Amino acid sequence: MSLELRKAIDQISKDKGLDRAMLVETLEEAVRTSVLRKYGEDIDVEVSFNEENGELEVFQYKIVVKKVEDESTQIDLEDAVKHDPSVRLDDEMGFRLKIEDLGRIAAQSAKQVIIQRMRDAEQGIIYGEYKDRINEIISGIVQRRDKAGWIINLGRTEALLPKEEQIPREHYKRGDRVQALIIEVRKEGRGPQVIVSRSHRDYMAALFKREVPEVDDGVVQIMGVARDPGSRAKVAVLSRDRDVDPVGACVGVRGSRIQNIVQELRCERIDIVVWSPDIATYARNALSPAVISRIVVDEAEGLLEVIVPDDQLTNSIGRKGQNVKLAAKLLGWKIDIYTETRYNEANAIGQGLEQLAGVAEVPAEHFAAAGLVSFDAVSRASDEELLAVAGMTVEKLGNLRTAVNFLRPTEEKDDLAEKKDDASGEKDGTGGEKDGTGGAESAE
């Protein structure tokens, strides 16, 4: 029995990776607890594992007294001398207890304590191991599905791949081998819960680190990742060595490196862009393959106004807005895209209205509040409508009308002049076909 116990301790320590001293201590504590349950909490008990013979030794200690008041903790001198003739009053004597005398219930309790302590110790080791592996790629076997997601067997423990961390339209079946990124390790009552992800942006960064040696050794640095999992992604890279092309290093010879990553992510399209400290340059790279005319940076609002040729609007926005959304996520800025035609028209209208407001000495906001939000709207408004603008006077109205005539586009001025000529001709009988001098004849 003693040899079997020692072998069992050694085997459990080896198989479970548990500290042998901890196992011995657990065993001793479990037996002690069972002894106290059987004989009472007041007795003085010591339990020790004898490494030489592999046995558990249990001793109950009693104090030598003249008159016994508590038999569980005291022994009278007369009885004590029978065991040890040299004993004296107030000495402490130990009496060996047989573990076999504990009974079935006490033995079962000891077994439960041992199992629980071993389970707690094993879970502690697993938690410590996996919490240090966050942001590391692991591989496991799909075991089953539950309401939270897929359960993946990692060997010593299980991992959860939640639904929201899966790549859309990706399907699994039991027995499939799957790779994922450890993103969290939770301490729970039933044991540590390892949470993994295949849609996290850091998973893509970890794949690049695994597939591209230059990324692993720090020569090429991943500066940012934006993903639409399973569809498209943008990865910003920077080279710390002027002789190393960061894009070429990530793509590999004939695309060998990038293809390994694309296949692992179920053919997710990946755009590799060069990072730049200049936000306009960075944005230009991030919006590739669209051609950009110019970029207006509004740092206060964290906004980029991107102007593109009219035929590049579709390319810059992308299918369902994917290109511009990923670029905005990668940059961390808001992005508004305009065609050159639309941007120029908007600016011309805005500038014209500002000029009119300046001449009339009335804030542009007052015109806007009255519904006059463009140069054209002001020019077509009646005197009554303009006088209704806050701060407008008759004198300011006259100045405003003069400014409208001065700033009106040349084409509109010519049209107005022709209309005036036509109107005056009809009035005095000198215009058009009425006197026989208009039309084809006058052209002659």
Compute the distance between CA of residue 28 and CA of residue 25 in angstroms, rounded to an integer: 5
| Bridge partners for 56 per DSSP | 49
Helices (H), 157-290: 201-211, 213-216, 246-251, 256-264, 279-286
Is the whole model's pTM more than 0.95, yes or no? no
Which CATH superfamily hosts domain 2-126? NusA, N-terminal domain (3.30.1480.10)
What CA–CA distance (Å, rounded) separates 422 from 204?
72
- When computed from its CA atoms, the radius of gyration of the chain, rounded to whole angstroms, is 43
Residue range 202-341, CATH number: 3.30.300.20
CB 377 within 8 A of CB 394: no
What 3-state class would DSSP assign to 335? strand
The Cα 262–Cα 270 span in angstroms is 7
What DSSP designation does 219 have? S
What are the b/e assignments for 89-106, b being 16+ CB within 10 Å? eeeebeeebebeebeeeb
**DSSP characters for 14-42?**
HHHT--HHHHHHHHHHHHHHHHHHHH-TT
**342: which residues sit within 8 A by CB, 6+ positions away?**
none
Q: Which SS3 state, helix, strand or coil, does residue 94 take?
A: strand
DSSP code at position 278: S
pLDDT tens, residue order, the chain (444 aa): 455 666 777 776 776 666 777 777 877 787 787 777 777 777 888 888 777 777 778 888 888 888 888 877 888 888 888 888 888 888 888 888 776 666 555 556 656 666 677 777 777 778 888 888 999 999 999 999 988 899 999 987 889 999 999 999 888 899 999 999 999 998 876 778 899 999 999 999 999 999 999 999 999 999 999 999 999 999 999 999 999 999 999 999 999 999 999 999 988 999 999 999 999 999 999 998 899 998 989 898 899 999 999 899 999 999 889 999 999 999 999 999 988 888 766 665 556 677 788 888 888 778 878 888 777 788 888 989 889 988 899 888 888 888 888 776 544 444 444 544 554 544 444 444 434 333 332 233
DSSP 431: S
Task: Please report the pLDDT score of residue 269 as a whole number.
Answer: 93
Check: CB of residue 163 under 8 Å from CB of residue 128. Answer: no
| Cβ–Cβ < 8 Å for 234, 246 | no
Looking at the structure, give the CATH architecture of the domain made up of residues 134-199. Answer: Beta Barrel (2.40)
Task: Tell me if residue 372 falls in helix, strand or coil.
Answer: coil
Task: Express the helix, strand and coil content of the chain in percent, nearest 5 each.
Answer: 50, 25, 30
- Domain boundary assignment for the chain: 2-126, 134-199, 202-341, 343-424
Q: Tokens 């790779």 map to which residue?
A: 179
Output the CA–CA distances (angstroms, integers) from residue 333 to 236, 297, 302, 303, 336, in the order listed. 15, 10, 5, 6, 10
Ramachandran bin of 123, using left for φ above 0, alpha for ψ from -120 to 50, beta for the remaining angles? alpha
CA distance 219 to 439: 79
What b/e sequence results for 322-361 when a residue is b if at least 16 CB atoms lie within 10 Å of its CB, and e otherwise? ebbbbbbbbbebebebbbeeebeeeeeeeebbebbbebbe
